[in-house]
Amino acid sequence: MNYLFYLTAAIAVLSTTMVIFHRNAVHALLYLVTSLLAVAVIFYQYGAPLAAALEVIIYAGAIMVLIIFVIMMLNQGDSTVVQERAWLQPSTWVGPALLSALLLIQLILLVSSAPFSAVRAFHYIGPKQVGIALFSHYVLAVELASMLLLAGLVGAFHLARHRKPETGRSGNAN
């Protein structure tokens, strides 16, 4: 089973790397979906089937569909490959890549020096346990999350409206 973990981990890292370097937005998005699916597999391996399912349904499903809508609306894709190529010069990405690499090395150092318990046992936590915790101990947080989603809904509706500047009632609201 451990080989399966490393394989999926490798797929996740590789496809994520493709996301950040790819020039075509649609392709990049497909790589991102791949990466998310790989992570879902890893969730499953860690004994979290509910998380794996939600990862596939919400992340790889709903959110990615939202992004693809926007890509289509903004006419990204093949036509912008040239532009992306111009924007993604080595001089542009070397610095950020170095910074991130440094950060990663530090994290690895920290993790390797931390005294973890030798127990490699993992606990299977099914949807039932999660549901009990969610609607008993975290019920207030659930309400807050619903408020957040409502605010997101209203905010997105308001922000995305395409108003002509001269007919706008207030100049700064749209």
Chain positions 119 to 158 lying near another protein, rule: CB under 8 A, are 120-125, 129-130, 132-134, 138, 141, 145, 148-149, 151-153, 155-158
- Residue 31 in tokens: 């790589």
Give, as ranges, the residues between 51 and 80 that touch another protein (CB under 8 A): 51, 54-55, 58-59, 62-63, 66-67, 69-71, 73-74, 76, 80
Task: Give the residue with the Cβ less far from another protein, 78 or 158.
Answer: 158
Smallest distance from another protein to CB 167, Å: 14
Smallest distance from another protein to CB 47, Å: 5
Confirm if 4 and 43 have CB atoms less than 8 A apart: no
Confirm if 37 and 56 have CB atoms less than 8 A apart: yes
Our finding on whether 30 is near another protein (CB under 8 A) is no
* CA nearest neighbour of 21 among 84, 75, 83: 84
Residue of 160, 167, 169, 173 interacting with another protein (CB under 8 A): 160
C-alpha 75/C-alpha 81 separation (Å) is: 12
Residue of 9, 11, 27, 81 interacting with another protein (CB under 8 A): 9
C-alpha 159/C-alpha 23 separation (Å) is: 28
Residue of 11, 27, 45, 81 interacting with another protein (CB under 8 A): 45
Our finding on whether 173 is near another protein (CB under 8 A) is no
Our finding on whether 93 is near another protein (CB under 8 A) is yes
CB within 8 A of 79, min separation 6: which ones? none
Confirm if 103 and 111 have CB atoms less than 8 A apart: no
